[in-house]
Amino acid sequence: MRVGPLGLWGWMDPKASVNLENAILSSHVTHPHPHSKIGAAMLTIAVASAVNGKANHITDISEFICSNIEHLYPNIGQTLRAMKNASGWEEALNILHDRYPCPDNHKNMRRPDGKEISMYPCKFHDDIYIT
């Protein structure tokens, strides 16, 4: 996404509403779907948080990023934290798919235990799917 540099511009206050507004406006040209705008906002927050955390000598940058995302998107922040604390990428992928399962009519590749590997489209909330 092109919104990463917006996080550099807004690094002083990662949770500032102007960061979210800029991310949404910037992403609209090529990603007009509302769910794409959530991804743009999260990436902007993540970049701003990483730079802010480094500048302020925060020791656990990934936790700082999760915390700032969780402030605006609690479910996503909690999922990222759980994935960050996973013992490996397979456990992290299991966490992602357990929290945001794909609908049955969009099955692609499967893991040995039968769970879906592809994350698109994925259940984002009870009534919203990322497509």
Structural domain count, the chain = 1
pLDDT for residue 85 is more than 90: yes
Q: How far is CA 34 from CA 23, 25, 37, in A?
A: 12, 11, 5
Range of the domain at 21: 4-85
Is 101 a domain residue? no
Percent of the chain having pLDDT more than 70?
Answer: 76
Higher pLDDT, 114 or 73: 73
Residue 43 within any structural domain of the chain: yes
In this structure, is the dihedral angle defined by the CA atoms of residues 62, 17, 100 and 103, taken in order, positive or negative? Answer: negative
Q: Say yes or no to pLDDT of 102 above 80.
A: no
More confident residue, 31 or 65: 65
Residue 130 covered by a domain = no
28 assigned to some structural domain: yes
What whole-number distance in Å separates Cα of residue 20 and Cα of residue 42?
A: 8
In a domain, 118, yes or no: no
Q: What is the pTM of this model?
A: 0.67
pLDDT in tens, 13-51: 888 888 888 888 888 888 777 778 888 888 888 999 999
